């Protein structure tokens, strides 16, 4: 297991635990003192906290390289439904140069 991004998911002032438990699988825990309460898992190579929040929990983004070109990335926005994180949007960023260069 490998620690993931350090973020306060629920805004209580305590950092919560995000842990890489297998290649591309992130386990999410809300921390209550030294104990963690599992709130689910997300899959993807790169997980980051977004600026926004939904239903009292920080939004999360999974970034994933596309198969088209190495620098293009797909981004998947995950929002808290009240009981779990649910994918609510996706977008792509393009390479800063035209194809074939």
Q: Can you give the residue ranges of every domain in the chain? A: 2-93
- Enter the DSSP assignment of 15: P
Contact 42, 86 (CB under 8 A): no
pLDDT confidence of residue 98: 47
Q: What is the pLDDT of residues 6-19, one digit of tens each?
A: 899 999 999 999 99
The number of residues making up the chain comes to 101
Contact 16, 27 (CB under 8 A): no
Which residue in 42, 50, 49, 48 sits closest to 86, CA to CA?
Answer: 42
- Between CA 92 and CA 97, with CA 5 as vertex, the angle to 5 degrees is 30
The percent of residues in the chain predicted with pLDDT above 70, rounded, is: 87
pLDDT at 95 over 70: no
pLDDT confidence of residue 31: 95
Model's pTM, two decimal places? 0.81
Cα-based distances in Å from 34 to 13, 60, 84: 14, 23, 22
pLDDT confidence of residue 75: 85
């Amino acid at each position: 297991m490998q620690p993931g991004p350090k973020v306060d998911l629920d805004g209580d002032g305590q950092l919560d635990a995000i842990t890489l438990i297998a290649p591309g699988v992130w386990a999410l825990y809300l921390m209550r003192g030294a104990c963690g309460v599992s709130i689910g898992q997300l899959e993807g190579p790169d997980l980051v906290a977004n600026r926004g929040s939904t239903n009292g929990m920080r939004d999360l983004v999974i970034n994933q390289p596309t198969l088209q070109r190495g620098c293009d990335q797909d981004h998947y926005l995950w929002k808290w439904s009240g009981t779990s994180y649910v994918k609510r949007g996706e977008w792509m960023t393009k390479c800063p140069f035209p194809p074939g260069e």
